[in-house]
A and B are shown apart, each in its own frame.
Chain A
Amino acid sequence: MILQALKEYYYRKPDLPKFGFEKKEIPYIVVLDENGEVVNLEITYEGTGEEKRARKFLVPHSVRRTSGIVSNLLWDNPKYALGIKTKNDDERDEQVSKMHQKFKNEINLLGKQEDKGLNALKLFLEKSDKEKLLQKKFAENLKVLLEDENPLITFRLEGESDIIANSKILLNSIIEAYRSSENIKNLKKFDKAEKTICLISGEKDIIERLHPSIKGVWRARSSGANIVSFNSSAYCSYGKEQGNNSPSGIKAVFAYTTALNFLLDKKSQQKIQVGDSFTMIFWAAKKDNLENDFASFFNIPQKDDPNKGVKTVKALLESVKSGALSNDDSKTEFYVLGLSPNEARIAVRFFIKDTVRGMSENIAKHFQDLEIDRPSFESEFLPLFKLLVSTAVLGESENIAPHLAGDFMMSVLKGLPYPETILQAVINRIKAQDYKYKAKNRKAEKAKSEWVISHERVALIKAYLNRLSRKTQKEEEITVSLNKENTNQGYVLGRLFATLEKLQGEAQEKPNSTIMRYYGTASSSPVAVFSTLMRLHQHHLNKLSKEKAGRAVYFEKLIGEIQDKIDNSKGYPSYLSLTEQGMFSVGYYQQRQDFFKPKKEKTETENKIQGEQENG
């Protein structure tokens, strides 16, 4: 299904390379005149530093080169194309001349052609010691070429705008050459039937022996890896070898590998890198806006458009609410494929197929679940990476739990509850007072409460618990803002803790050690801590009532309200379950947010007390 979907994507995109070709970055072009004399040595690099890329050309599809001498057609590295060694090459001279001969042979296999460019090239290739030739007139560019790590070369006829490999006259011969390439010739040894059913298309075709490699999966082998590969005896069955283990026709194989390479390209807008664990690509069966917006739901917004994430999510939520997604277009199939590297192979992490509507609704739900009252300096939009890194030790992306990224992504796109590891990881980080991920660029040694019990972590807890309740058909417990009616013990105790902390902050000018050091124990076994805290808070109240009586009364009232909700039949709970610990953090956070909300009017109580004092 995966390969079939990719094949269909190839056929719906009109501008992907046709059968037998691929797009390749070629930095050096040798320009020849009709007699085969060198007119110029061009360099096609554009951009600087990290962005430096050579121009892309449509060239005959690359061959698989492992240990033997195999040449590409009409383009290759200097050893093959010119018979010249660059600074990194250590082959013997005879080897290099063999390679160059192979290059010439491939061109001769095209036969006699009317193409002027090809004939000029043939004349040029017959010349000996091309290095000296180029050195004479183009020493500077030649030097750059010889220093380059990966100097690919192709040829162009003077006066033409396109390279020789793109000549329309040669088109059919190039396709023929691809069809009868080494790959396929060897196949006839293994399988007696010439054409077998292809498992991707269901039609009869010649079977591909070695699938072209896929480049662009992070951390896979840089020269390319394969999804379909049988490079060891343990992987073969029924005495089949290589591609015969999964018979796929050459046309279908070309289609799916070209589509994959296109989606995984460096500049692809349809690719998301999720930490170190996997690469995610997505596409739609028909042109759809979701293809353009999908990445911005999860990626960290770029500096040139920092509000992109916020805007696209808002638009998504609007379209779901207004029912704009109920039209026919939204029944288009949408695919998401997660790929993990494993050296020279690529493993499929997950594959999700859903309608545009279903996918959009699930993503919208994810953001709705994460919504929570936050401080004004916190961003409204939570990209995927930020969420995952808040669960990792010291905020390092390599410390994200191995399967968490993939499982989390899958649960978001499928509308399932988040993986349980999320709750455990977040609570562990909070208990460890891990603030590093928030304070990365600041020289902070002490944990600030809003860095430890942070927006991302609390949003994750809220979303996890709400999604779980939805799944088990219980009522969703946690609201976006502070919920004064919530009687969950963990929630209430969290609120109480936040109130006591605020009280201490207002009573003492600069407390040496705040109540925060009790946080871990308070959330896991309240009984050990709360009686002490309640005893201490009396002192704070007394101190505060001397300076700001109104405030003291306010706190007293609030603490009374909260304590009413604690089930005191057995005293404070001796332990809180993991869910309740999560609620503790949410209660704490939401109460704190409530404190920092701008108060437009003073509370009634404060006004009354002030009035009494003035009168009395």
Chain B
Amino acid sequence: MKGFCLEVWGDYACFTRPEMKVERVSYDVITPSAARAIFESILWKPAIVWNVKKIEVLNPIKWFSIRRNEVKDIASVSKVSKECIYTQDSIQQRATLCLKDVKYRIYAEFDFIPQEERENHLRNVLYEHTKKKLKEEILNGEDETESKYASMFERRASRGQCFNQPYLGCREFSAGFKLINPKEGKVAPIDETKDLGIMLYDMDFKDLQSPQALWFFAKMENGIINVPAWGSKEVLK
């Protein structure tokens, strides 16, 4: 179905490599899963699932290093254990090697999911109460079309509406976004071709108890990264 293009920018970005998660090191460019998350923050419904097609890197890749004080404990809901985290006892200093002044154009499409398939879809994992609501929708017979969601997205994106502020890898690095009209002129991506190695493609939540990571060999050609489709053989699992 018809694709959309979003221009996304931010002062800082950190698409953390899984192997360097504690002392954070970012990937060179945005990961497909982070790109997908930006589209989802603007519009997501159980009826759609986003697929990122292409990423264009518009700004040269610049790095920035910072050390921050963080805590090493996670909040616990159990009544037996502590009610709060005392930062003095739990403090850890963690270094971050992140990107600076990033700007991307992300091209993505969504797959429309017919009503019967929404409850137990492979990629959209839903809460129980959402599943109940879905069953009601089918009984009420709402009329569902692909174009309904397409226009919803177009409306929201052009107005700057979002469910939560899109972010670049980590929540503290907020992103600005703009819907790009296909009639608007093309902006040239950076003139760099390099092999980015193995990058995280996305997470497979089929098994909720143990989500699996998916990988792909990423290559940037003249600033453009072509993202393989879910289920294609380029995606390693």
| Interface of chain A residues 213 through 261 with chain B (CB within 8 A) | 227-235, 237-240, 245-248
Flag if A239 contacts B210 (CB, 8 Å). Answer: yes
What sequence of 0s and 1s flags, for each residue 184-198 of chain A, a beta carbon within 8 Å of any chain B beta carbon? 000000011100110
Q: A202-B198, A345-B23 are in contact. Are A245 and B18 (CB under 8 A)?
A: yes
B142-200 contacts to A (CB < 8 Å): 196-198, 200
Indicate if A19 sits at the interface (CB-CB under 8 A).
no
Residues of chain B from 51 to 75 with CB closer than 8 A to chain A in the complex: 63, 65, 70-74
Asked whether any CB of chain B lies closer than 8 Å to the CB of A406, the reply is: yes
A367 at the interface (CB under 8 A from B): no
Chain-A contact segment, one of B33-41, B93-101, B122-130: B93-101
Q: Report how many A-B pairs have Cβ atoms within 8 Å.
A: 99
Contact with B along A47-64 (1 / 0, CB 8 A): 000000000000000000
Question: Is the interface on chain B under 10, 10 to 19, 20 to 34, or 35 or more residues?
Answer: 35 or more
Whether B21 pairs with A202 at a CB distance below 8 angstroms is no
Binding stretch for chain A, among B4-12, B105-113, B133-141, B212-220: B212-220
Min CB–CB distance B154 → chain A (angstroms): 33
Size class of the contact patch on chain A: 35 or more
* A245 contacts B198, C-beta separation under 8 Å: no
B25 close to A348 (CB less than 8 A): yes
Binary per-residue interface labels of chain A (325-348) against chain B in the complex, 1 for a CB within 8 Å, 0 otherwise: 000000000000000101001111
Q: Which residues in A have their C-beta under 8 angstroms from that of B95?
A: 340, 342, 347-349
Q: Is the CB of A232 within 8 A of B72?
A: yes
Stretch of A1-9, A453-461, A468-476 lying at the B interface:
A1-9
Provide the bound-state CA to CA distance between A407 and B19, in Å: 24
A196 B65 Cβ-Cβ under 8 A: no
B22 adjacent to A199 (CB under 8 Å): no
Q: Check B20 for interface membership: any CB of A closer than 8 A.
A: yes
Given A246-B18, A340-B95, check contact A4 B23 (CB 8 Å).
no
Asked if A200 is at the interface of the complex by the 8 Å CB criterion, the answer is yes
CB distance from B78 to the nearest CB of A (A): 13
Indicate if A403 sits at the interface (CB-CB under 8 A): yes
Tell me if A196 and B22 are in contact (CB < 8 A): no
Q: Is the CB of A227 within 8 A of B20?
A: yes
List of A residues within 8 angstroms of B197 by Cβ = 1, 4
29 A-B contact pairs sorted by A residue (CB < 8 Å): A1-B196, A1-B197, A191-B210, A192-B210, A199-B19, A227-B19, A227-B20, A230-B21, A230-B22, A233-B73, A234-B70, A234-B71, A234-B73, A234-B92, A235-B22, A239-B209, A240-B210, A245-B18, A246-B17, A246-B19, A248-B19, A342-B23, A342-B94, A345-B23, A348-B20, A348-B25, A350-B65, A406-B65, A410-B63
Q: Add 13 more A-B contacts to A345-B22, A349-B97 (CB < 8 A).
A: A4-B198, A193-B212, A197-B213, A199-B18, A228-B20, A230-B21, A230-B22, A234-B71, A235-B22, A245-B21, A342-B95, A345-B23, A348-B20
- A contact residues vs B (CB 8 Å cutoff): 1-4, 191-193, 196-197, 199-200, 202, 227-235, 237-240, 245-248, 340, 342, 345-351, 403, 406-407, 410
Interface of B toward A, CB cutoff 8 Å: 17-23, 25, 28, 63, 65, 70-74, 92-95, 97, 196-198, 200, 203, 209-213, 215, 217, 236-237
